Chain A
Amino acid sequence: MHTPSSAAAIPRKPSGLSLGVLLFRLRALIALFVLIAVFSILSPSFFTRANLIILVGQTAINAIMAVGMTFVILTGGIDLSVGSTVGLAAMVSGLLINRGLPIPPLGVAVYFNIPAIIVIALCLGLLVGAFNGLLITRFNVAPFIATLGTLYVARGTAQLSNNGATFPNLVGNPELGNTGFPILGAGSILGIPIVIWIMVLFAAVAAFVAGKTPFGRQVYAVGGNERAAELSGIYVNRIKMAVYMMCGLCAAMTGLITASQLVAAHPAVGESYELNAIAAVVLGGTSLAGGRGTIWGTIVGALVIGVLTNGLVLLGVQEFWKKVITGLVIILAVVLDQLQERLQQRLALKRA
């Protein structure tokens, strides 16, 4: 047999995207710059070093959660339990600092140092994620329902941990060797808050994992077409399990930061945070149907929400109006996302 004569000519042209489509794709970034410009003009105190650091610091809390959420949404899932995981991680860190780990039969409590407490809280986040993943993969519960259930379970557990009361004053005790917890939320390195460094670290690692590793590629494949992914030999359930665990880890990190910033662990902390995280992911252009989106988009999305919140406060806009505006921005983002989908389909048809 001879080889096919029509050897494929692969023109090495830059992908034939028009400027319009490119601008459309970068809409979140453009929106971010526009918002920054508008608030800079309207409020003299907006574009100052001090305010920007505050803004990014506020954003970081949401962004870290949203990074984990991005992976979940890329597989076509959703995690509603992150807000409760934030609360649970905060309460556990509070408990371990103020009371230690009680061991009832011996009547003693074991105290850990702060790095150990952080590790324990993060592991707890992984555990919550594993619980979600197990429900979704082994018991075939829809992600929305499974994580809704976990939302209540985790929140209830957080409240039970101190009978609904706050763990106050988490400064630790020098005699027990567990001081230093507030540094996480209040400290800074090179003049930039640790919180922001953590966000950058999480985002960089996540972007690398999503873009450059087989795992990341498989996450996109599972979200794009689960059955095709399975037939390509991808362990779909393992991928799903992993993304929920990563999401739980990110939420636990957020809980630690929040507790550290407040120097207290309140059982209601993190309530409705899941919605902010989902909003950031969606604003960043990730499709709720799965298979499409980027970590950097999510960071931009979180920044858009952060700028909007911060700027509207500086302008003295009433809290209630803030909510209305944020909501409208999210709706607009999804509408634009649908438009992009349709636009690309039309372009694909034209090419075919």
Chain B
Amino acid sequence: MDQMEQNRPETHQIVMVAEKVTKRFPGTVALDQVDFTVYTGAVNVLIGENGAGKSTLMKILAGVEQPTSGRLLLDDSPVTFKSTREAAHAGIGIIFQELNLYPNLNISENIFVTRELTRGWVVQHGAQEKVTRELLARLEQPLEPTTLVRDLRMGQQQIVEIARALSQNVRILIMDEPTSALTAAETEALFRIIKDLKAHGVAIIYISHKLEELLTIGDYVTVLRDGKLAASAPAQSVNIAWIIDKMVGRNVHAPHHHERTVADNNQEAILEVRDLCLPRLGGGLTLENVSFTLRPGEILAIFGLMGAGRTELFETLMGLHPEASGEICLGNKKLRQQTIRERIDSGLMLVPEDRQRLGLVQKLSVAHNITLANLKRFVDSFWLNERREQEDINAMIRDLAIKTRTPQHPITSLSGGNQQKVVVAKSLLTRPQVLLLDEPTRGIDVGAKAEIFEIMNRLAEQGLAVLFVSSELPEMFTIPDRILVLSKGKITGEFLHDQATEEALVLAAGARQQTEHPTGTAPT
């Protein structure tokens, strides 16, 4: 049957269908009545913004999650997968974005882990290695099966993942952003493998943010937006503009800019970053020649996909990466070897992305979290003046409308949005001149998001320079005066708020990666 498929590539058969699949999580609907068709011997591309529901759909197909409603059809008969094991048994394999390999085991051991070829209780290493060698030959990767996975490059590890999936005789192979860690050569090799798999009748489900790439290898394109099916079409009939249009949608997020008077253009920059470079472990650059300026009272947004280097940029500004090169000037002061404390004292402060891990001390009260970063403000002789401390705490709780029963309550008793406000309050008490906010609205509800933006707006009006990072496209059209787009560590676009369009931002964030970085690793 496979051979026949190969001869009629234009009429792919349907192997799997997701019908009206809905997935609800507490508080949100991740997938809303989505239909998705998987054609055999074809590359079925799935695309959408962060949070559009791609990963959830893949997890349902692979048995990681179960749908709240709707059904899956495999070869026209309904199926339910309670685990990845059951899905694998039905011939569905998945390669996650984060590789699931054991670096301390060798290639063949990784391929056969949990499914070891045994005689009695003894693992038949010889037999495993023979099969592994055959698989690797088919994938054009003549690696020695006994090589430890930790000694392989990222791209080669990806090959091992694919080999593992193939060893299970998959009919449907799900690949989640497989090229994000690959060099151009490795990407080409991967595409050859995909063509080969197609020829053998395997259905590929391919997720990526790289638009050109999708059109190069895709046969069918399905676009998700806000958990709903936005469009699906054969790849020949679409172009990049169409995809972006479907991804961002029309009239969904009407840009509504604030009426704040934009910072005076003639004003001296408070933060000036020149040629910031941050080397990456294992070669290449996480940040490449990043330069920008920020004026007092200005809100500058940085848009970028995951892994674009946004968090690393903020970390570098705060002095967490001493290996970075380039120049950071705050006011008239050049920041070089300063510690985090010294940077905070000179007016730079970060509200980190991961609130629980980096922002809060969970065992302290609301009050003590608020004053944590600027205790010396309350010191009389060498002890804390608790009356003055309490005054500032109360003022912050009032100004930011933090909802807590008492300041002495544990921080963990607050909602996510209020916890975030506590982190912002802590930062503001350091009297910053430049406030860095890394995904300030992540994981908080809509009302709290609006409040956070209102706070940022108010701070900017008071002359604070605000720099914030977000991967949420609509947020780019709320308050920023200017938007920088970061892609693979490089600034790929700069827009004034009235010039920016969703299409332009998406294109700069994802599509340029291919054209601007043909080698995948940045030249130095």
Q: Are B258 and A218 in contact (CB under 8 A)?
A: no
Instruction: Tell me the chain B residues, 393-426 only, with Cβ under 8 Å from chain A.
Output: 394, 397-410, 412-415, 426
Q: Are B375 and A4 in contact (CB under 8 A)?
A: no
Q: Which residue of B lies closest to A16 (CB)?
A: B405
Q: Which residue of A lies closest to B371 (CB)?
A: A217
Q: Are A15 and B406 in contact (CB under 8 A)?
A: yes
Count A-side interface residues using an 8 Å CB cutoff.
41
Shortest distance in angstroms between B29's beta carbon and chain A's nearest beta carbon? Answer: 22
Q: Are B379 and A13 in contact (CB under 8 A)?
A: no
Q: How far does the alpha carbon of A348 sit from the alpha carbon of B409 in the complex, in Å? A: 9
Interchain CB contact (< 8 A) of B358 among A1, A228, A291? A228
Question: Does A227 belong to the interface (CB within 8 Å)?
Answer: yes
Question: Does A212 belong to the interface (CB within 8 Å)?
Answer: yes
Interchain CB contact (< 8 A) of A212 among B341, B360, B383, B413? B383
Name the B residues within 8 Å of A231 (CB-CB). 318, 340, 350, 352, 358-359
Instruction: Tell me the chain B residues, 359-385 only, with Cβ under 8 Å from chain A.
Output: 359-364, 368, 371-376, 378-379, 382-384
Q: Are B384 and A15 in contact (CB under 8 A)?
A: no
- Most-contacted residue by chain A among B345, B405, B458 (CB, 10 A): B405
Q: How far does the alpha carbon of A345 sit from the alpha carbon of B411 in the complex, in Å? A: 11
Q: How far does the alpha carbon of A218 sit from the alpha carbon of B379 in the complex, in Å? A: 13
Q: Are A232 and B372 in contact (CB under 8 A)?
A: yes
Q: Are B454 and A4 in contact (CB under 8 A)?
A: yes
Q: How far does the alpha carbon of A348 sit from the alpha carbon of B414 in the complex, in Å? A: 8
Q: Are A1 and B410 in contact (CB under 8 A)?
A: no
Q: Are A224 and B364 in contact (CB under 8 A)?
A: yes
B-contact 0/1 string along A322-345, CB 8 Å cutoff: 000000000000000000000011
Question: Does B158 belong to the interface (CB within 8 Å)?
Answer: no
Q: How far does the alpha carbon of A220 sit from the alpha carbon of B411 in the complex, in Å? A: 14
Interchain CB contact (< 8 A) of A11 among B363, B406, B408, B457? B406
Q: Are A10 and B404 in contact (CB under 8 A)?
A: yes
Shortest distance in angstroms between A230's beta carbon and chain B's nearest beta carbon? Answer: 6
Question: Does B451 belong to the interface (CB within 8 Å)?
Answer: yes
Q: How far does the alpha carbon of A214 sit from the alpha carbon of B389 in the complex, in Å? A: 11
Question: Does A108 belong to the interface (CB within 8 Å)?
Answer: no
Q: How far does the alpha carbon of A208 sit from the alpha carbon of B386 in the complex, in Å? A: 13
Name the B residues within 8 Å of A234 (CB-CB). 341, 372-373
Question: Does A229 belong to the interface (CB within 8 Å)?
Answer: yes
Q: Are A10 and B394 in contact (CB under 8 A)?
A: yes
Question: Does A3 belong to the interface (CB within 8 Å)?
Answer: yes
Q: Which residue of A lies closest to B343 (CB)?
A: A233
Q: Are A225 and B397 in contact (CB under 8 A)?
A: no
Interchain CB contact (< 8 A) of A7 among B345, B371, B383, B398? B398
Q: Are B383 and A8 in contact (CB under 8 A)?
A: no
Shortest distance in angstroms between B457's beta carbon and chain A's nearest beta carbon? Answer: 5
Question: Does A213 belong to the interface (CB within 8 Å)?
Answer: yes
Instruction: Tell me the chain A residues, 1-59 only, with Cβ under 8 Å from chain B.
Output: 1, 3-4, 6-8, 10-13, 15-16
Name the A residues within 8 Å of B470 (CB-CB). none
Question: Does B344 belong to the interface (CB within 8 Å)?
Answer: yes
Name the A residues within 8 Å of B378 (CB-CB). 214
Q: How far does the alpha carbon of A291 sit from the alpha carbon of B365 in the complex, in Å? A: 11
Question: Does A352 belong to the interface (CB within 8 Å)?
Answer: yes
Name the A residues within 8 Å of B402 (CB-CB). 8
- Most-contacted residue by chain B among A11, A220, A232 (CB, 10 A): A232
A-B contact pairs, 29 of them (CB 8 A): A4-B454, A4-B455, A8-B397, A8-B398, A8-B401, A8-B404, A11-B405, A13-B406, A15-B408, A15-B409, A212-B383, A212-B384, A213-B382, A217-B368, A218-B375, A220-B368, A221-B364, A221-B372, A228-B359, A231-B359, A233-B373, A235-B339, A291-B361, A344-B410, A345-B412, A347-B413, A351-B409, A352-B412, A352-B415
With A4-B451, A221-B361, A344-B410 given, name 13 new contacts (CB 8 A).
Answer: A7-B401, A10-B394, A212-B386, A214-B376, A214-B378, A225-B362, A225-B363, A228-B359, A231-B358, A231-B359, A234-B341, A345-B412, A348-B412
